[in-house]
Chain A
């Protein structure tokens, strides 16, 4: 127990005692904190801009951050700080255009428009923004606390009880689950996952001559990770949005304006009204967030519809859809609670559940010295585990991020409303250019740029065919661990071809994978 407290202390020290960026009155300002604040404000701005999303900003800033901070373990916390800042800021910022202009800045803010915008139109935009901020930050903080408690615990349990074949089965379960819950159908989810695995298996593996290259020398080193992920996730999205704009030039334009009245701001009973709704939303968001692949949109929808149903049963409650504070609170609490809980499988098992988590894993992979997975939470006797220090450093950063969101987040949020007026036709080409530049900066090869564009076209095609893109990316990341653990399990069981069925736990995990595909798919 004292060990654990030591690590928490070390983690906080790692953030606070890091190299100082500059000094104010003799007190150094740690670089990680500066990066966190910078990321947070960037995130709020990005979230507030329709057509941009948190993952996009994370994707573009990652290569730039790495080239700025280098590959030493010292780079981990500042880079994570900026990415976590964006992640937290974007969840908050997404509510701004949703409330003010009936235009969700991020997909998961869709439900916020339902009550947020009517309230703003009724002359209370500040009140709506304030409720959104409080609910969002409350949900986020709650789920972070769950993360701090659960991730180490889960990692230790998994490491202690799962044998090699069972770890392989767990990865199969994760990938199957993601394929089942994302996108329009299980078939399309599986298609996306398979594509991701095939691309990841090009030129990897233990054989000396690279496999699956079809004789192309350029593929000898495999597909550059960042090119595949940014291509499918970001460039594909830009291409698809540009096409939408080309068909309908006004699709993303700001439609209405809202002006505050004299009685704008939090009304006296608001906090009391939204507290139970926020609590429920935070819980729903956290539970859903902990499952890999289930996004914040589902959490928001679920929380909103549950609250709407309850509101109907109470006679004098304000109906949802007319600017009810509970509506805003239910959505924002739930979609923000997803982000913290989403890191539970990331930190404890190395399994990413959403796009933001993908970029955190990518950052850890590129810099080195921190490998998300059970080893992070090992506490070897008498020796300091540097990864655990980083993990608690990350937790510290998240807690400080929440603090910033509570305090200055509201003011920043309100000041960002102008961003919604930037026309997407100008914005997206700039984003595309910056993305490609960022990729070139990291890879310094034109092959990576071409590969990104090819994957961009793939991402565009997948979007047009309603094949979900996130399973592709997650499968791409999990392909390596899956193959490695399968190889190790096969060898460890004395070359038993049926190693996956060698223990009851492993069989149960495989059955759950099958059940996920059969039952979760049928509900649609």
Chain B
């Protein structure tokens, strides 16, 4: 397992310099040397999966590049990262994950090969609209009801879709004195399917809950980000409930480490172009379900990832205590 990462560690230094060194813009001339495989680190049919596929479709339409979406879900995006690490760093392999894959999850894995400096950050597409979601008109449709049920001794099933979400559920539980039964499922769609089927009681969803919330099927009983949720401005921030941390982040595209700067710039620009163009289906979805496109590329993105990794280290320390 580890030996295929060794060459990667070697290119890591190269990669880091490549990212930071200013280069002449060759991006306009760059075209992928073959069809682009777009790995999707999310379960098929979910909100993030649809987002990735619509962006693939948008790139195909705008640039006439061939993009082949391929599912690589699991392990909070690290399954995808492992797959990507084996792929050629020539722009023909990209992957959609969340920023926490390249921060919290890669650190939690303990494997330095997964470090964000070993990959090329291409572009974010949207910010999490992270909510703590429950079925409307159910037994858990407000934070007070959750607390009340816990005090009455009812076991509460808390669905999470990644390790960081699971740790945040545990951290929140520790802070408020509730021993949640934390169930790791596949993606926000898995959380919502579980809620609908009555298999779980509450769970984190990072944007896909928008429509069910607007339709009155589900409610955001709390929010994991600083800004109020577009659909539920009154949902309290989890730090107000007792948590020391927020659960924010971005959906983002990454590529193998050592991608040449022109390719990085061209791919990042292509994603930005599709995500921000009001005429594309991808933009429609981002606006409708993810609070609008939020594209960050280049040095701006690198700075964010550095900060996210520092924050992740802090959360991990707090949870381990």
By a beta-carbon cutoff of 8 Å, the part of chain A in contact with chain B is 70-72, 159-160, 163-164, 206, 208-210, 217, 220-221, 368-371, 374-375, 378, 380-383, 387, 484, 487-488, 491-495
Contacts and interface: CB of A to CB of B under 8 A. Distances in A.
A378 B192 CA distance: 11
Nearest to B136: A381
A369 B109 contact: no
A488 B199 contact: yes
B44 A382 contact: no
A387 B186 CA distance: 18
Contacts of A160: 197-198
A421 to B, nearest CB: 42
Contacts of B186: 484
A371 B45 contact: yes
B217 A383 contact: yes
Task: Determine the main DSSP class of A at the interface with B.
Answer: loop
B1 A220 contact: yes
Contacts, number: 83
Contacts of A221: 83
Given A208-B75, A208-B111, A370-B45, A492 B68 contact: no
A197 to B, nearest CB: 18
A368 B71 contact: yes
Contact of A374 (B57, B71, B197): B197
A217 B184 contact: no
A185 to B, nearest CB: 37
A206 B75 contact: yes
Given A208-B78, A369-B45, A491-B184, A380 B109 contact: no
Interface stretch (B13-21, B208-216, B264-272): B208-216
Interface of B: 1, 4, 44-45, 49, 53, 57, 68-71, 74-75, 78, 82-83, 109, 111, 155, 157, 179, 181-186, 193-194, 196-200, 211-212, 215-217
A488 B185 contact: yes
A71 B215 contact: no
A465 B158 CA distance: 48
A375 B217 contact: no
A375 B193 contact: yes
A488 B183 contact: yes
A388 to B, nearest CB: 12
Contacts of A383: 211-212, 215, 217
B4, B45, B111: residue with the most chain A Cβ atoms closer than 10 Å: B45
29 contacts: A71-B70, A72-B53, A159-B197, A160-B198, A164-B183, A206-B74, A209-B1, A368-B53, A371-B44, A375-B196, A378-B193, A380-B196, A380-B217, A381-B216, A382-B215, A382-B217, A383-B212, A383-B215, A383-B217, A484-B186, A488-B184, A488-B199, A491-B183, A491-B184, A492-B183, A492-B199, A493-B181, A494-B179, A494-B181
B180 to A, nearest CB: 9
Contacts of A375: 193, 196-197
A208 B109 contact: yes
Most buried by B among A369, A370, A375, A492: A492
Given A160-B198, A371-B44, A492-B183, A381 B111 contact: no
A371 B57 CA distance: 21
B212 A163 contact: no
B71 A491 contact: no
Contact of A368 (B4, B49, B184, B185): B49
A95 to B, nearest CB: 38
Given A208-B82, A217-B4, A382-B216, 14 more contacts: A70-B68, A206-B75, A380-B196, A380-B212, A380-B215, A381-B212, A381-B217, A382-B215, A383-B215, A488-B194, A492-B181, A492-B183, A493-B181, A494-B181
A368 B157 contact: no
A85 B263 CA distance: 44
Contacts of A494: 155, 179, 181
Contacts of B157: 492
Contacts of A491: 181-184
A369 B44 contact: yes
B57 A72 contact: yes
A378 B196 contact: yes
Nearest to B105: A208
Nearest to B54: A72
Contacts of B199: 163-164, 488, 492
A79 to B, nearest CB: 15
A210 B4 CA distance: 13
A368 B1 contact: no
B68 A71 contact: yes
Contacts of A382: 215-217
A210 B215 CA distance: 41
Contact of A492 (B57, B69, B200): B200
Which among A217, A375, A491 has the highest number of chain B CB atoms within 10 Å?
A: A491
